[in-house]
Amino acid sequence: MKGVEVYVEGITKKYGSTTALDGVTLRIPPSEITTLLGPSGCGKTTLLKIIAGLEPPTKGRVYFDGRDVTNLAPEKRNIGFVFQDLALFPHLNVFENVAFGLRVRRVPEAEVKKRVYWALDLVGLDPSEFARRRIHELSGGQQQRVAIARALVIEPAVLLLDEPFAHLDYKIKQRLLLQLKRIQRETGATVVYVTHDQNEAMAVSHKIAVMNNGKILQVGSPEEVYEKPNSSFVASFFGEANVLPGEGGFIVIRPERVLINPDRADTVYDAYIEDVVFQGPLLHIEARVNGKIIKIIKPRNGMVVKPGDKVRIGWLQKDVRVVPE
Amino acid sequence: MKISTIILPLVIFLALFFYAPFIILGYQSFQGLGGEFTLDNYLALVRDPTYLHVILYSIVIAVETTVITLLLAYPASYYVARIASGQEKIILLALLLTPFWIDVLLRSIAIKTIIYTIGLREGYTAMMIGMVYEYLPIMFLPIYASMSRISRSAIDAARVFGANTWDLIRRVIVPMTLPGIVAGSLLVLLMSMTEFVIPSLLGGTQGFTIGSLIYYLFLSGGLWGVGAALTMIVTVMLMVFAFIIAKRTGDITAW
Ligand SMILES: Nc1ncnc2c1ncn2[C@@H]1O[C@H](COP(=O)(O)OP(=O)(O)O)[C@@H](O)[C@H]1O
Ligand SMILES: [Mg+2]
């Protein structure tokens, strides 16, 4: 199956005096995972609801494969949606929750059963164990999988996931993220994945759109956005960053690109080590330069610095990114 | 069975003012005129078809009241709970519930005036208008409560997954408000079955229901034994109902 290309053009959404979205234009390529990344309240959920047709935009258009769907009812868009609060039906068991989209499409019973079992298998819930369970008899992680199965079973052209793995343990989250990527490859759906967590965004995306205050600030592959952030907000929100005042605005230097006692560097400062924190194989170091803290990340092997050490730190010009704001 | 102390005051109150009189009444229902034990009072109820008639007639009125109030309250509660917002919601709720705070006697007299102005007289229609007016808030409140509890995103989810308006009503809204529908319907059914004030004031010749019958037996007819027997039958019937409801609502709300 091939997913559709979603194109939102000049979308503005106002709730009274609140502007939830402010002129958002975004091309979401077919059969890829595109992530909307941004802090809470920046308009991610609102954008998903507009794509789904659950909220009308105040201004702007929505296109699926070039067709204007702005005024098309949500039930006619063939969309899978995993809601932020899951929105499972409490009066239906797991099987009927997943089957919902097929029932309203009047799919024959035998086919319903086949596809519900397929979807439950896909998300790693054994149908013989879970099909008859009540929603409130499931753990949070199991409920999230039911919500994903319910969205997948209709083989949607577009799959919208609104922070689907928030509030889950790290390990379960990692596993579900891998499953999501596999499911996306197998089904070929266009996936829009919403999160405020940069690690999730890095793990899952073909393409990332960083949002703030109802605007999209930057769009690109995870590598592009990481290596070439276009603003200090993007640099700090996606990955760790040192943002320092510099010529023409600010300079951004990633913590892993800061050198300690370098043989050769384009910029060098005297610094002393404030703090060293072990994070698995990495050391997170804070160095003080002229009263300002510089974050440094280094592999642990061979690195011997401790708080109080006087060192020189520096970086290469090629690792510095200049941003206007 | 251990009765938790927090409900003890209520239990004592009910024991004194409901269950004790009920037991006394039960005792009286087996007493003859000379104070001897007898089943005559019950047999009198069975022998004279008028009694059965009145009971069935009251059930018909109660069922009709339930169906009409349900049909009126259900869409209204949907509108007030899910569509109206802000000021409109408050005004609608106030308008719907104000009659509830006013005594039934005053309301019945008010209705009487209106009914006369529109050219009606006491009778079946007038009585049903009064009954619907009386029981509408009781039907409305539990349905409104369950309607308000449906999350916006459950409805969004149904829409996105392909439900048209009919699917939405049938597969999501009605099942999710079922506890409210059941609670409202049973409350109205049971309460309206023994309603006394409205049928007597507005029913005219059509207003002779269980309530009026019991009133007549005790206070005008002087047939205390038969009155007690009838009260016993009706009360036991309602209690059985109440137990079934308590069990059923327990099942339904156990999501
Ligand atoms: N139904 C609504 N009514 C009023 N304001 C809303 C509504 N939905 C969202 N907003 C506001 O719009 C902004 C964006 O919200 P949202 O899209 O939910 O952000 P995010 O999903 O990124 O956390 C917030 O300021 C929020 O308060
Ligand atoms: Mg959100």
For B170-182, the DSSP string reads: IIIIHHHHHHHHH
- Predicted confidence (pLDDT) per residue in A162-211, tens digit: 998 887 788 878 888 888 898 899 889 999 999 999 989 998 999 999 99
> Nearest CA of chain A to the CA of B198: how many Å?
38
| Residue A40, SS3 per DSSP | coil
Q: Which helix (H) or strand (E) holds B142?
A: helix B124-149
- Predicted confidence (pLDDT) per residue in A7-23, tens digit: 999 999 999 999 999 99
Percent of chain A topping pLDDT 90: 78
Section B77-82 average pLDDT: 94
Q: What are the start-end ranges of the H helices in chain A?
A: 44-52, 94-103, 109-122, 127-130, 140-152, 170-187, 198-204, 222-227, 232-237
Pocket of ligand 1 (CB under 6 A): A 15, 18, 20, 38, 40-46
Domains recognised in chain B with CATH numbers: 39-252 (1.10.3720.10)
Eight-state DSSP code of residue A115: H
Section A133-145 average pLDDT: 91
Report the C-alpha gap between B3 and A163 in whole angstroms: 46
- Predicted confidence (pLDDT) per residue in A73-128, tens digit: 999 999 999 999 999 999 999 999 999 999 999 999 999 999 999 999 988 899 99
Nearest CA in chain B to A104: B163
Section B205-223 average pLDDT: 87
For all residues of chain A together, what is the average pLDDT? 93
Residue A73 CA, ligand 1 centroid: distance in Å: 21
The single residue listed with the structure tokens 């309240």 is: A41
Residue B176 to residue A89, Cβ atoms within 8 A: yes
| Token pair listed for A104 | 């309203």
Asked if residue A47 lies in contact with residue A23, where contact means CB atoms within 8 angstroms, the answer is no
Neighbours of A51 (CB within 10 A): 25
Using a CB–CB cutoff of 8 Å, tell me whether A77 touches chain B: yes
Say what the pTM is. 0.82
Section A154-164 average pLDDT: 93
Report the C-alpha gap between B173 and B169 in whole angstroms: 5
| Residue A58, SS3 per DSSP | coil
Using a CB–CB cutoff of 8 Å, tell me whether A74 touches chain B: yes
Asked if residue A44 lies in contact with residue A211, where contact means CB atoms within 8 angstroms, the answer is yes
> Nearest CA of chain A to the CA of B83: how many Å?
15
Percent of chain B topping pLDDT 90: 44
Domains recognised in chain A with CATH numbers: 6-227 (3.40.50.300), 246-323 (2.40.50.100)
Using a CB–CB cutoff of 8 Å, tell me whether B161 touches chain A: yes
Report the C-alpha gap between B100 and B107 in whole angstroms: 9
Beta carbon pairs, A and B, within 8 Å? 75
Using a CB–CB cutoff of 8 Å, tell me whether B8 touches chain A: no
Predicted confidence at residue B119, as pLDDT, reads 87
Predicted confidence at residue B250, as pLDDT, reads 63
Asked if residue B147 lies in contact with residue B174, where contact means CB atoms within 8 angstroms, the answer is no
Section A145-152 average pLDDT: 93
Q: Nearest-CA neighbor of A130 among A119, B136, B151? A: A119
Residue B252 has pLDDT above 60, yes or no: no
Report the C-alpha gap between B116 and B123 in whole angstroms: 12
Residue A75 to residue B154, Cβ atoms within 8 A: no
Backbone angles phi, psi at A195, to 5 degrees: -155, 160
Residue B249 has pLDDT above 70, yes or no: no
Which residues in chain B (185-244) have CB-CB distances under 8 A to chain A? none
Residue A38 CA, ligand 2 centroid: distance in Å: 10
Asked if residue A283 lies in contact with residue A235, where contact means CB atoms within 8 angstroms, the answer is no
Predicted confidence at residue B254, as pLDDT, reads 46
Output Rg (C-alpha) for chain A, integer angstroms: 23
pLDDT band at B103 (very low <50, low <70, confident <90, very high): confident
